[in-house]
Structure 1
């Protein structure tokens, strides 16, 4: 098994080979949206980097199934500024674009703002001690679920409803690199609809068409916590939203628009 989600192409810095660790639960030939979202974060952070700036929001549009195939990832600054800039990134297979992302990169305050204590983030979600891993609802032997470690503080894959789940990458997103806080967060945040599923995995699909992650602070350790809830509707459109935490407190929020349909 590969030791990374993507292998860089030595001949092309924008080209990446997808490994089996990217496979999702819906199809053996399609990726979980977490790894390619993190790959977009990878190229966004490397796009004309500026000291003293940090990505505050990433909005990913999923244009179709992401195949387990070589991918091209590119990014460019489309709106530059002294304090705020907009970066657009595209992930493409040989068939064309499969994902697009807009990211706002903002200038950090220096020195730090002297804010009243009531405006500072508070509240924690304790990281559970290691337990026996739960059975992930997938019939694939290797996939994203084997490339991460997850610990539930409440809820479970087999218990429908809201859940609090901690996620850690076992492998780098791109071989030869260390996952950045943004990469770790994007990879984990796309699991909000999975950990808080309210419908039977064997009877329904609940696929997200997008992923929006807003970070007021980046995680300081390897674990990212999702305090997640899913809101399904009878007309087939749903919403999954997650409050995001690290071991010291809140870091932001994520949302996913869901297409809900019965399995064929």
Structure 2
């Protein structure tokens, strides 16, 4: 089976999503991970801080994103040489916003930084119970399309799995690019992956309930590095139709940040 080489194909007006963006709920709708990464790509392209790092990304999912043409507009909300706030909005060509990203970016430096206070933690090892090579390959059984989001990344589980309920820790590596003709950056890879935190740590049966997230928030204390990235995720189900997923994000060098998602839960 030959997979598309990218999640998106560039067009004159924006991008066209390939089958690798298909989500688990409807074959005509995208998983939120790929458009989240596409929004982050556009934020960095609009940035006025060359070589800066994106430290916080807040995504609002305003509506389902169809598998097809999309376009993105960007605005520098708060310009600055050291710190800036950039917003990006995605629509399907009709002007109706479907996803929105608000991202803080900061200037980077490698010299003259203060040292951490003695006894504090300035760097932590990755929290996965097993490294990449000691983890188990896994594949989601609940996608209705053979070629879909779950094929965009290679998955290795250090604990848990796609197909069993409860917390899980997984490593991933890209099997495609984000946009055809250019490499996928570690930050783009992280965002393609991280929206699946609530999927790998599901506490409900995919066949009897929906638990789609309405947002995704990612906070990073340093940029991701390397080809393998991971997340250690857990979901807590409330008693009134809501759930919350949180994850520690890491690469092979250690933890890099955290993510949260608010989930709307209802019977299928």
Q: TM-score range by the shorter chain?
A: over 0.9
The answer to whether the Cα contact below 8 Å between 1:85 and 1:105 also exists between their aligned partners in 2 is yes
Range 127-136 or range 164-173, more displaced: 127-136
- The answer for the alignment partner of 2:249 in structure 1 is 244
The yes-or-no answer on 1:230 pairing with 2:235 is yes
Q: CA deviation at 1:131?
A: 4.2
The answer to whether the Cα contact below 8 Å between 1:229 and 1:240 also exists between their aligned partners in 2 is yes
Q: Give me the whole-angstrom Cα distance separating, in 2, the residues matched to 1:141 and 1:33.
A: 18
Q: Deviations over 1:55-90 (max 9, x none)?
A: 101111001110011000121211112321100001
The answer to whether the Cα contact below 8 Å between 1:57 and 1:214 also exists between their aligned partners in 2 is yes
- The answer for the alignment partner of 1:107 in structure 2 is 107
Give 5+ residue unaligned stretches, structure 1: none
Give 5+ residue unaligned stretches, structure 2: none
Q: Give me the whole-angstrom Cα distance separating, in 2, the residues matched to 1:253 and 1:2.
A: 30
Q: Give me the whole-angstrom Cα distance separating, in 2, the residues matched to 1:76 and 1:29.
A: 29
Q: CA deviation at 1:130?
A: 6.4
Q: Give me the whole-angstrom Cα distance separating, in 1, the residues matched to 2:34 and 2:51.
A: 26
Partner of 2:250, secondary structure, is strand
- The answer for the alignment partner of 1:35 in structure 2 is 34
The yes-or-no answer on 1:120 pairing with 2:122 is yes
Aligned length: 260
Residue 254 to residue 19, structure 1, CA distance change in 2 (3 Å): same
Equivalent in 139, 142, 146 of residue 144 of structure 2? 139
Partner of 1:89, secondary structure, is strand
Partner of 2:178, secondary structure, is coil
The answer to whether the Cα contact below 8 Å between 1:128 and 1:153 also exists between their aligned partners in 2 is no
Q: Give me the whole-angstrom Cα distance separating, in 1, the residues matched to 2:6 and 2:39.
A: 15
Q: Give me the whole-angstrom Cα distance separating, in 2, the residues matched to 1:239 and 1:62.
A: 15
State the superposition RMSD in angstroms: 1.5
Q: Give me the whole-angstrom Cα distance separating, in 2, the residues matched to 1:3 and 1:246.
A: 24
Match runs of 1:42-121 below 5 Å? 42-95=41-94, 96-116=96-116, 118-121=120-123
